[in-house]
């Protein structure tokens, strides 16, 4: 390492000693749209040894230019230009696109913001342009990547859940814990949530470790590298306005049964008025009601008969003491959600002049959510500016400031009070419009009326416990009486000071920052916490509270990077070296009341009934690095490259905290040397690479530390022994990858094909391995395991029609993970449970890694089957026997993912259609599990094989038909009918989860936009308006295929599945872009 750096400096000194001449010319090279062209070559015509390359931003500085010289500017895909140097030292060059066969150079941004061309990199990289990314303006970057990157799986979230950040999985999983990609904006590591799609110029997705080797430990799950828009030359004022408006409605909901009403009792219950009950109830005497207390739907058949609805018992509103007809309410849950309204407004200014370029952009995103009182407001200010300071220095800065306020509770855990009950516990006969009408209605005793109150007999015990809900409030009243605000302010960006020593040598010093401050304020109003004699009067676990927290986190990166590039005859050389320091710091304080509020509705911490809860968090981390990288090219068709980086981590054991890792690659443009190249072959490249990327430990994972409890017991403090032990030899590790690929462009680059095969091994990952608690500890930190993954990625781009008035382009992305196997875990360990949901100790299913199996097996309780696969049934009860061993149901990882993106242009019209798909992968649905237990799902009200409803008495031909073998001998056939409720309850009783496990397979029309370019010339407004486009856009218009359409399989919230999935939505909207 040391030797290498010295050699580099020797080279540096040599180059400086070359004598300088008199003129230095600098400039910017752009295309016809004013967009910078990177890496154009600039040479003096008469003396090719005086030459340089423009940088990734299209800027160049060329020294030693003789007076009156002619500069030759060339770039692949553009017409070559010759410019005679005049009096100005600053040039602004526009290149026209050529009709060449290879197309323009695609730029790949790699670590430390070093830019390369796709032609000479040795690994797979995929570049997505802003147009393709923003077919419709998604609310965040990740959502807009779906279907556009080979090997990418988007694990999206429901649009109901505002502010959520969907996760991206590249090439399956290599880490036991699952890994996330590293997000880089203009070289700065940031959180993906706050990358504003309006400011993105393009995105490069780097999937394999050879591509990410220089990014360091956080890129082992791949890197998503974003270049923001920079100043560009635009005609007119350089102002652009983007306005979007979108409406979202609930789309995907489970199919419910619509035959039976709520309650635990299958019959209507006769009401007999008794003394002590309100006299008004006499009007209901002799009428019938269904059981309100139980929140399931095992109630009476809904046949339009007269009954007493839940609200009839409450005085003083227009439905008091009146019966209604018991009819299905098949859209009651859909009716709960309102229309979400999203507006997105962006205005940006850009200007480029001699020696500077600048862009300033402001975006305001405003979402009114689909849940009551939920909203999100986000402001993003982004600017990027660069100046030439004299001829030697250049300074540039990219700064983003984001501030977001998010209101609402977006609970998708089991049995939350907000909307989580809908698919687990609900009454199918509820008219949501009446629930909404009674929003704000107060029952006697100032109680919130509820559909789930007690049956009328309870009134005689305590009227309050009758009037209040048993388990649930009126959902609207719940939302009206909670408040949850999350505020986040983020600042990120960089300042980069560049120093050009000569035509070949420069040094950049860069400071990068990503800083976030946040606070949260939440409360539940006292009305949600009704008490009688100090004790709660219902089963609703809501305690009035006030809570607040504040946090601060920052990451600073300092980088010093000398670069050298030169051309020696046919050989080009680029070398970078450098040193970097990364410093992270975070602080947080959170505090909340406990046990209720002394003074009702006084939301102050000091108003806590019990001692308050509080915590503070502090953490630091530092990583120091030196690195070098270089590439060499011969005649622009053979390339070799390497990277070498050494990191020292504060989080690793001090005596062993250094990790050295490297990568090598080569690529070869074989189409350039084939003598009789077939006419159809425009371009052909082979590439191969090998690389490593390290994994380190988290902050404060080392050591054996005791935590002191917050509260004292009669003056005695409490302390707990930590649950984690560690291997004294714990160390960092590297994972290695081999990758080969081929790129072909055919028929004048009309068709492009890129195929990559990868083979990755991850070994000795430092992991807190779960161990049996009987050892005294719950986890052991050690280096474990081996995971391999192999797969293929294919990208196809076809310009199917390129007629004057009509163009049709198809992009296809496909990624298949042939193998993603857990080869070993640790000695004597054959599985690790990594993820489980609510009821994890009992009914739920788990995700676990098994040695020898594909990563992330879904496993859980199953029906016992005999050797022929026939279910084993208890012959007396007709209930299934549970297999004593939990069963595997398959991996949670899909077999393949992909997308097809079509773009049609006809004159001024552009139609973009993005379809993405996924095959395989499993999930467990707790909503389905409980919805079946509660009689909500369709199958609980199906007809049996005799055509009789399963809920009818067995004596009348009802019941669920059960066929199996007797548990006595596992041979004798059993064929009988089982009472529906008993049948559907058994899965919860015996913890059999197999009926609620589904495939993640889907095909989805995710994005559609139809745009019209307003002919500003024809309309005669071109003096004011440079361009204008109006589009109609839609998000998630059509879930074309899914194995189980009850849930959107692309929006499953957790690794194992979902606990209480919020519904999928679809939208229609408009977008207007105007340039002035």
Partner 1 sequence: MKAQITKLPLLILASVLLVSGITSCDKIRDFGDTNVNPGVTSEPITSALLTNVLAGISGYATSTRGGAYCQYFSETQYTDLSTYSLPQLEFSGNYSGALYDLQNIINYNSDPATADKAKAFGSNNNQIAVARILKAYIYWWITDQWGDIPYSEALKGVQPKYDRQQDIYTDLFKELKEAVAQFDGGDPFKGDILFNGDISRWKKFANSMRLLMALRIIKADAGKAQTEAVAAINDAGGLISSNSDNAVIDYPGGAFLNPWWSLYNGRVDWAMSDVVDGFFDATSDRRALAFGSSSIGFPYGRDRAEAVAFFNANPNWARILAPSYRTEGSPIVLLNYASILLARAEVRERGWITSGQTAAELYNAAIQASWEQWGVFSQTEYNNYIANASVAYGTNNLQKIGIQRWLAHYPDGSQGWAEWRRSGYPALSPAIDATNASGQIPRRYVYGTAEYSLNQSGVEEAVDRLAGGDTQDSRVWWDKQ
Binding residue for partner 1 (CB under 8 A) from 34, 445, 457, 1015?
A: 457
Q: Quickly count: other Cβ atoms within 10 Å of residue 568's Cβ.
A: 9
CB of 269 to partner 1, least distance (A): 8
Site for partner 1 in 286-325 (CB under 8 A): 291, 293-294, 296, 298
How far is residue 66's CA from residue 267's CA, in Å, rounded to a whole number?
100
Q: Which residues are CB-neighbours of 276 under 8 A, at least 6 positions away?
A: 459, 460
Length of the chain: 1076
CB of 984 to partner 1, least distance (A): 12
32 binds partner 1 (CB under 8 A): no
CB of 220 to partner 1, least distance (A): 20
Binding residue for partner 1 (CB under 8 A) from 621, 687, 752, 951?
A: 621
Nearer to partner 1, 650 or 1029 (CB): 650
CB of 555 to partner 1, least distance (A): 14
Q: Which residues are CB-neighbours of 831 under 8 A, at least 6 positions away?
A: 825, 848, 849, 850, 851
Nearer to partner 1, 138 or 847 (CB): 847
Site for partner 1 in 254-273 (CB under 8 A): 263-266
CB of 505 to partner 1, least distance (A): 9
The number of residues that bind partner 1 (CB under 8 A) is 125
Q: Quickly count: other Cβ atoms within 10 Å of residue 571's Cβ.
A: 12
Nearer to partner 1, 570 or 969 (CB): 969
Q: Give the 3-state DSSP-derived string for 743-759, with helices as H, strands as E and coil as C.
A: EEEECCCCEEEEEEEEE
Binding residue for partner 1 (CB under 8 A) from 89, 437, 830, 999?
A: 830
Listed ranges 92-100, 131-139, 774-782, 804-812: which one lies at the site for partner 1 (CB under 8 A)? 774-782
620 binds partner 1 (CB under 8 A): yes
Listed ranges 145-153, 427-435, 438-446, 652-660: which one lies at the site for partner 1 (CB under 8 A)? 652-660
Nearer to partner 1, 655 or 956 (CB): 655
Binding residue for partner 1 (CB under 8 A) from 491, 495, 579, 686?
A: 579
CB of 928 to partner 1, least distance (A): 18
985 binds partner 1 (CB under 8 A): yes
657 binds partner 1 (CB under 8 A): yes
Q: Quickly count: other Cβ atoms within 10 Å of residue 6's Cβ.
A: 10
How far is residue 997's CA from residue 1018's CA, in Å, rounded to a whole number?
58
Q: Where are the beta strands (DSSP E) in 321-412?
A: 324-325, 340-353, 356-368, 375-389, 393-407
User: What is the x/- site pattern for partner 1, positions 1012-1031, by CB under 8 A?
Assistant: --------------------
Binding residue for partner 1 (CB under 8 A) from 5, 381, 573, 589?
A: 5
729 binds partner 1 (CB under 8 A): no
Instruction: Give the pair of three-digit tokens for residue 1072.
Output: 């207007």
1050 binds partner 1 (CB under 8 A): no
Site for partner 1 in 517-556 (CB under 8 A): 533, 535-536, 538-541, 543
DSSP string across 282-317: GGGTT-EE---SS-SB---B-SS-EE--GGGGSSSS
Would you call 965 exposed, middle or buried from its count of C-beta atoms within 10 A (0-12, 13-18, 19+)?
buried
Q: Where are the beta strands (DSSP E) in 11-53?
A: 23-30, 41-44, 47-53
Binding residue for partner 1 (CB under 8 A) from 53, 423, 455, 576?
A: 455
How far is residue 590's CA from residue 597's CA, in Å, rounded to a whole number?
18
Site for partner 1 in 102-161 (CB under 8 A): none
Radius of gyration of the chain (CA): 33
Binding residue for partner 1 (CB under 8 A) from 33, 88, 616, 908?
A: 616
Nearer to partner 1, 247 or 471 (CB): 471
Binding residue for partner 1 (CB under 8 A) from 48, 316, 600, 703?
A: 703
CB of 274 to partner 1, least distance (A): 11
State the alpha helices, DSSP H only, in 341-462. Answer: 432-437
Binding residue for partner 1 (CB under 8 A) from 232, 831, 864, 1004?
A: 831
Instruction: Give the pair of three-digit tokens for residue 614.
Output: 């509080």
User: What is the x/- site pattern for partner 1, positions 58-97, by CB under 8 A?
Assistant: -----x----------------------------------
Helix axes 926-933, 980-989, angle to 10 degrees: 140
Of the CA atoms within 13 Å of residue 514, those in its CB half-sphere come to 18
Nearer to partner 1, 842 or 1017 (CB): 842
Q: Are 36 and 679 in contact (CB under 8 A)?
A: no
Would you call 533 exposed, middle or buried from its count of C-beta atoms within 10 A (0-12, 13-18, 19+)?
exposed
Site for partner 1 in 741-770 (CB under 8 A): 770
CB of 1046 to partner 1, least distance (A): 24
User: What is the x/- site pattern for partner 1, positions 911-940, by CB under 8 A?
Assistant: ------------------------------
CB of 7 to partner 1, least distance (A): 12
Binding residue for partner 1 (CB under 8 A) from 73, 107, 832, 915?
A: 832
863 binds partner 1 (CB under 8 A): no
Q: Are 958 and 978 in contact (CB under 8 A)?
A: no
Nearer to partner 1, 408 or 456 (CB): 456
How far is residue 123's CA from residue 31's CA, in Å, rounded to a whole number?
27
679 binds partner 1 (CB under 8 A): no
Q: How far apart are the first and last CA of the chain?
A: 53
Binding residue for partner 1 (CB under 8 A) from 496, 816, 967, 1071?
A: 967
DSSP string across 590-635: EEEEEEEESSTT---GGGEEEEEEEEEEEEEEEEEEEEEEEEEEET
How far is residue 205's CA from residue 128's CA, in Å, rounded to a whole number?
8
888 binds partner 1 (CB under 8 A): no
Binding residue for partner 1 (CB under 8 A) from 286, 315, 440, 773?
A: 773
How far is residue 442's CA from residue 316's CA, in Å, rounded to a whole number?
9
970 binds partner 1 (CB under 8 A): no
Listed ranges 196-204, 340-348, 708-716, 1009-1017: which one lies at the site for partner 1 (CB under 8 A)? 708-716
CB of 999 to partner 1, least distance (A): 24
645 binds partner 1 (CB under 8 A): no
635: β partners = none
Listed ranges 737-745, 983-991, 1027-1035, 1043-1051: which one lies at the site for partner 1 (CB under 8 A)? 983-991
Nearer to partner 1, 444 or 595 (CB): 595
User: What is the x/- site pattern for partner 1, positions 219-258, by CB under 8 A?
Assistant: ----------------------------------------
274 binds partner 1 (CB under 8 A): no
605 binds partner 1 (CB under 8 A): no
Q: Which of 892, 919, 813, 913 is nearest to 151 (CA)?
A: 813
Nearer to partner 1, 660 or 674 (CB): 660
Question: Any idea what DSSP says for residue 870?
Answer: P
886 binds partner 1 (CB under 8 A): yes
2 binds partner 1 (CB under 8 A): yes
Q: Quickly count: other Cβ atoms within 10 Å of residue 270's Cβ.
A: 10
Instruction: Give the pair of three-digit tokens for residue 618.
Output: 């502090």
How far is residue 460's CA from residue 349's CA, in Å, rounded to a whole number?
71
Q: Which residues are CB-neighbours of 900 under 8 A, at least 6 positions away?
A: 147, 810, 811, 812, 813, 914, 915, 916
How far is residue 252's CA from residue 1004's CA, in Å, rounded to a whole number?
12
Site for partner 1 in 391-420 (CB under 8 A): 392
Q: Which of 770, 692, 769, 781 is nearest to 733 (CA)?
A: 692
């Amino acid at each position: 390492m040391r030797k290498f750096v010295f050699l580099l400096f020797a080279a540096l000194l040599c180059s400086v000693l070359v004598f300088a001449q008199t003129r230095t010319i600098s400039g910017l090279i752009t295309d016809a749209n004013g967009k910078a062209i990177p890496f154009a070559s600039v040479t003096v015509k008469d003396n090719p040894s005086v030459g340089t390359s423009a940088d990734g931003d299209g800027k160049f500085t060329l020294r030693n230019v003789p007076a009156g010289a002619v500069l030759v500017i060339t770039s692949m895909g553009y017409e070559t230009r010759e410019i005679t140097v005049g009096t100005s030292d600053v040039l602004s060059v526009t290149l026209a696109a050529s009709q060449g066969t290879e197309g323009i150079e695609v730029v790949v941004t790699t670590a430390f913001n070093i830019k390369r061309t796709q032609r000479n990199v040795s690994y797979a990289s995929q570049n997505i342009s802003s147009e393709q990314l923003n077919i419709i303006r998604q609310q965040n970057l990740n959502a807009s990547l779906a279907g556009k990157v080979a090997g990418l799986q988007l694990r999206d979230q429901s649009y109901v859940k505002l502010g959520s950040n969907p996760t991206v999985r590249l090439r399956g999983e290599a880490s036991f814990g699952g890994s996330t990609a590293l997000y880089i904006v203009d070289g700065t590591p940031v959180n993906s949530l706050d990358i504003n799609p309006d400011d993105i110029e393009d995105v490069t997705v780097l999937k394999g470790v050879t591509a990410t080797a220089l990014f360091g430990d956080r890129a082992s799950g791949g890197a998503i590298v974003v270049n923001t828009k920079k100043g560009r030359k635009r005609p007119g004022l350089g102002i652009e306005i983007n306005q979007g408006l979108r409406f979202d409605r609930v789309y995907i909901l489970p199919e419910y049964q619509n035959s039976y009403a709520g309650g635990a009792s299958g019959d209507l219950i006769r009401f007999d008025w008794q003394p002590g009950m309100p006299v008004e109830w006499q009007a209901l005497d002799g009428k019938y009601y269904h059981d309100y207390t139980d929140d399931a739907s095992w109630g009476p058949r809904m046949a339009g008969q007269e009954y007493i609805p839940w609200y009839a018992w409450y005085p003083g509103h227009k439905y008091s003491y009146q019966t209604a007809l018991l009819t299905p309410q098949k859209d009651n849950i859909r009716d709960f959600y309102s229309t979400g309204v999203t507006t997105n407004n962006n205005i940006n200014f850009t200007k480029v002049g001699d020696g500077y370029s600048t862009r300033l952009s402001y975006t305001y995103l405003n979402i009114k959510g689909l849940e009551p009182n939920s909203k999100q407001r986000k402001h993003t200010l982004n600017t990027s500016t660069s100046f030439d300071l004299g001829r030697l220095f250049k300074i540039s800065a990219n700064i983003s400031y984001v501030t977001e306020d998010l209101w609402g509770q977006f609970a998708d855990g089991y049995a939350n009070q907000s909307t989580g009950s809908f698919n687990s516990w609900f009454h199918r006969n509820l008219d949501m419009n009446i629930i909404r009408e009674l929003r704000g209605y107060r029952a006697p005793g100032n109680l919130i009326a509820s559909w789930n109150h007690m049956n009328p007999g309870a009134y005689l015990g305590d009227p309050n416990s009758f009037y209040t809900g048993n388990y649930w409030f009126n959902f609207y009243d719940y939302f009206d009486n909670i408040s949850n605000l999350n505020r986040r302010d983020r600042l990120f960006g960089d300042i980069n000071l560049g120093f050009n020593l000569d035509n070949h040598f420069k040094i950049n010093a860069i400071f990068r920052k990503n800083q976030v401050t946040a606070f949260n304020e939440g409360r539940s109003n006292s009305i949600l916490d009704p008490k009688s004699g100090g004790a709660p009067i219902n089963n609703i676990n809501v305690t009035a509270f006030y809570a607040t927290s504040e946090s601060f986190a920052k990451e600073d990166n300092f980088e010093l990077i000398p670069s050298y590039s030169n051309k020696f005859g046919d050989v080009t050389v680029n070398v970078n070296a450098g040193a970097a320091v990364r410093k992270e710091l975070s602080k947080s304080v959170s505090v909340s009341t406990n046990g209720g509020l002394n003074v009702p509705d006084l939301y102050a911490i000091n108003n806590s009934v019990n001692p308050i809860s509080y915590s503070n968090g502090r953490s630091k981390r530092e990583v120091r690095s030196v690195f070098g990288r270089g590439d060499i090219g011969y005649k622009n068709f053979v390339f070799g490259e390497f990277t070498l980086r050494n990191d020292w981590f504060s989080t690793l054991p001090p005596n062993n905290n250094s990790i050295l890792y490297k990568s090598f690659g080569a690529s070869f443009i074989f189409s350039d040397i084939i003598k009789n190249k077939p006419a159809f072959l425009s371009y052909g490249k082979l590439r191969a690479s090998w690389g490593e990327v390290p994994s380190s430990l988290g902050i404060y994972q080392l050591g054996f530390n005791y935590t002191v409890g917050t509260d004292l017991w009669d003056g005695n403090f409490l302390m707990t022994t930590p649950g984690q032990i560690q291997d004294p030899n714990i160390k960092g590790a590297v994972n290695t990858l081999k990758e080969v690929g081929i790129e072909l462009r055919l028929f004048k680059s009309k068709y492009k094909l890129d195929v990559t095969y990868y083979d990755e091994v991850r070994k000795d990952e430092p992991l807190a391995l779960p161990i049996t608690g009987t050892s005294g500890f719950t986890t052991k930190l050690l280096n474990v395991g081996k995971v391999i993954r192999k797969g293929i990625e294919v990208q196809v781009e076809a310009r199917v029609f390129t007629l004057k008035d009509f163009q049709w382009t198809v992009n296809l992305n496909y990624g298949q993970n042939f193998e993603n196997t857990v080869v070993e875990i640790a000695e004597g360990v054959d599985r690790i449970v990594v993820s489980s949901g609510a009821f994890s100790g009992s009914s739920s299913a788990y995700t676990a890694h098994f040695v020898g199996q594909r990563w992330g097996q879904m496993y859980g309780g199953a029906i016992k089957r005999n050797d022929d696969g026939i279910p084993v049934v208890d012959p007396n009860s007709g209930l299934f026997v549970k297999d004593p061993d939990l069963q595997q149901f398959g991996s949670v990882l899909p077999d393949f993912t992909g997308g097809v993106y079509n773009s049609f242009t006809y004159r001024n019209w552009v139609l973009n259609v993005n379809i993405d798909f996924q095959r395989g992968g499993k999930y467990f649905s707790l909503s389905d599990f409980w919805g079946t237990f509660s009689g909500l799902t369709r199958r609980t009200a199906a007809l049996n094989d005799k055509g009789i409803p399963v809920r009818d008495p067995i004596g009348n031909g009802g019941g669920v038909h059960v066929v199996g073998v007797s548990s006595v001998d596992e041979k004798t056939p059993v064929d009988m009918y089982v009472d529906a409720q008993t049948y559907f309850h058994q899965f919860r009783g015996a913890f059999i989860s197999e009926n609620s496990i589904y495939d993640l397979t889907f095909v989805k029309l995710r994005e559609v936009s139809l745009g019209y370019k307003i002919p500003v010339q024809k309309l005669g407004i071109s003096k004011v308006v440079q361009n204008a486009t109006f589009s109609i856009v839609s998000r998630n218009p059509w879930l074309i295929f899914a194995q189980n359409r009850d849930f959107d399989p692309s929006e499953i919230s957790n690794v194992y599945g979902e606990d209480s999935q919020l519904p999928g939505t679809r939208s229609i909207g408009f977008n207007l872009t105007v340039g002035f």
